[in-house]
Amino acid sequence: MQPKGDHRSKPTKPTKPVTPAKPRANTAFGRLKEQLQAVDLVFEVLDARIPRASQHPKGEEIFGNKPRIIVLAKQDLADPELLQNWLDFLAEGESRDSLALSFKLHKGQEKLISASLKITQAKRDQLAKKGLLPRPMRACVVGMPNTGKSTLINWLTGKNKARTGDKPGITRGTQWVRVHPQLELLDTPGILPPVAFETETKMRLALCNIIPEDHYDFVEAAEFGLALIMSGKNRDALKMYGAEFGSSEKPTLEGLAIARSCVAAGGVPDVRRAAGMFLNDFKNGRLGQFVLEQPG
């Protein structure tokens, strides 16, 4: 027994070394990979007009074997026949499905939810076998900026629970949203790949308003778009600018500027203004429905 007044310290048990906490990822790519570890399902949102260009180039590495539903958004802007070819191509695989949706229409929600529950059936069965209480399947909504991720959540809930806008990169944080008793979604900021795009990919992204305007030149993107339309089956779409311009074998921005009276001082065709007009018409669907890539 320690004598009264003896202030000598008592022997203490040796403590285990503290394992330092794993540092959180400090890049958008790293944070996305962390979030994916906590989900059961991935909604990958692509632009229906450019399914390949709007995919993250490291998508297969990011998603791995996670059940995935590829949502081709902006269905109303895409050529139906070519879009179906993409749906067939993208749906290959046991843990993968694909749907084309237009968030302007108030239908299709049950179709997406049913596909989600079907593709996660094995996970729900696994939880039941372990005797765990049923819980909603957790889905992560991912995609490049302005493909329609936040709009998908609002479309599913019928409420403005996720912020949306017509500029790439409107979502700044992350948020969980319950959309069904058995399904909740994690909205994530758009992830721009940390790599330089190939020229054609960059131009397709510009045409569909996926990348910010300061990432490309208006004139270059519009010239690319004109050539792309002329090489496809919908070249008659250019006749909306006038029969003569639409019948040209090699339409130019100078010709478009003249056809639409975009003239600068001294009667010089305002090519940049014509380019901006063309890009706005394309991305808003005034030129018709397009799919700018072939699957395979």
The mean predicted confidence, pLDDT, of the chain is: 83
167 — pLDDT class (breaks 50, 70, 90) = very low
- What is the per-residue pLDDT for 282? 95
Q: Is the pLDDT of residue 163 over 50?
A: no
* Residue 135 to residue 252: CA distance in whole angstroms: 57
Residues 6+ positions from 117 with CB-CB distance below 8 Å: 124, 137, 182, 183
Q: Which has the minimum average pLDDT: 131-140, 143-152, 187-196, 239-248?
A: 187-196
- What is the per-residue pLDDT for 174? 60
pLDDT digits (tens, 9 = 90+) for 196-227: 788 999 999 999 999 888 889 999 999 999 99
Residues 6+ positions from 56 with CB-CB distance below 8 Å: 62, 142, 143, 144, 191, 193
The 3-state DSSP class for residue 98 equals: strand
- What is the per-residue pLDDT for 243? 86
Q: Is the pLDDT of residue 54 over 50?
A: yes
More confident residue, 105 or 269: 269
The per-type count for the chain, helices as H runs and strands as E runs, is 11, 6
Question: Would you mind telling me the total number of residues written for the chain in this entry?
Answer: 296
Q: Running DSSP on this structure, what letter comes out for residue 269? A: B
Q: Is the pLDDT of residue 9 over 70?
A: no
| The dihedral sign for the CA sequence 247, 249, 252, 254 | negative
Q: Is the pLDDT of residue 168 over 70?
A: no
- What is the per-residue pLDDT for 94? 72
Q: Which amino acid is at 223?
A: E
Instruction: Name the CA radius of gyration of the chain, rounded.
Output: 26
Entry pTM: 0.81
Say how many C-beta atoms besides its own lie within 10 A of residue 22's C-beta.
7
Q: Delineate the domains of the chain, giving CATH numbers in brackets.
A: 28-187 (3.40.50.300), 217-283 (no CATH)
More confident residue, 169 or 10: 10
- Residue 158 tokens read as 């019928």
More confident residue, 164 or 109: 109
- What is the per-residue pLDDT for 196? 72
CB-count burial class (<10 Å; 0-12, 13-18, 19+) for 52: middle
Q: What share of the chain is helix, strand, coil (3-state, %, to 5)?
A: 40, 10, 50
Q: Is the pLDDT of residue 38 over 50?
A: yes
Percent of the chain with pLDDT over 70: 80
More confident residue, 4 or 104: 104
